[in-house]
C-alpha cells in the first residue's frame, strides 16, 4: 500500500489518537477532525488534501450520513470508509458514488482498517 493522505473523523478522542499513531507508523500522513463541520472544512480546500476519509456516522454536530455527500461532492477522487457501530449500505448513495465508499463495523482491529485502505487505494 502506498503512503496515503488520510483524514480520520470521529468524536472519540482516544480512538482518533490510537488510529493516528498506528497509521503514521505505517507511513501515512494523517489529520483528524472531531466534528462534521471540521471535516467538511478540511476537505473543502481545492484540491482536497486527502485521498481517503475515515468517517464516523455519529458526530456531535452533523450526522455522518449528512457529511458524506458533501465530502464526495467536494472532491471527485476522494474515497470514504464509514466507521460505525451500525451497519451502513452504500445502496443509499447515487450509483456513481458507490464504488468510492466502503464501511467497517465498530469495533474493528487496526489491521481491518489497513485492509479497507488497501482496497480503496487500489481504486484511486
Residue 13 confidence class, pLDDT cut points 50, 70, 90: very high
Q: How far apart are CA 64 and CA 84, in angstroms?
A: 9
Kindly report the pTM of this predicted structure: 0.94
Residues 6+ apart with CB under 8 A from 69: 93
Q: Are 5 and 29 in contact (CB under 8 A)?
A: yes
The residue-averaged pLDDT of 103-123 equals 90
Q: How far apart are CA 120 and CA 76, in angstroms?
A: 14
Cell (9 digits) for 88: 451502513
Question: By CB neighbour count within 10 A (0-12 exposed, 13-18 middle, 19+ buried), where does 47 fall?
Answer: exposed
Domains and CATH numbers, the chain: 5-123 (3.40.50.2300)
Q: What is the pLDDT of residue 61?
A: 98
pLDDT tens, position by position, 61-88:
999 999 999 999 988 899 999 999 888 8
User: Residue 124: pLDDT above 60?
Assistant: no
Amino acid at each position: 500500500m502506498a503512503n496515503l493522505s488520510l483524514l480520520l473523523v470521529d468524536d472519540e478522542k482516544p480512538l482518533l489518537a490510537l488510529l493516528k499513531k498506528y497509521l503514521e507508523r505505517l507511513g501515512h500522513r494523517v489529520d483528524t477532525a472531531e466534528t462534521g463541520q471540521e471535516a467538511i472544512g478540511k476537505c473543502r480546500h481545492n484540491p482536497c488534501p486527502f485521498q481517503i476519509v475515515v468517517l464516523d456516522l455519529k458526530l456531535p454536530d452533523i450526522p455522518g450520513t449528512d457529511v458524506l455527500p458533501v465530502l464526495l461532492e467536494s472532491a471527485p477522487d476522494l474515497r470514504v470508509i464509514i466507521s460505525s457501530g451500525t451497519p451502513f449500505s452504500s445502496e443509499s448513495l447515487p450509483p456513481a458514488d458507490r464504488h468510492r465508499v466502503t464501511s467497517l463495523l465498530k469495533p474493528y482491529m487496526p489491521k481491518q482498517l489497513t485492509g479497507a485502505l488497501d482496497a480503496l487505494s487500489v481504486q484511486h
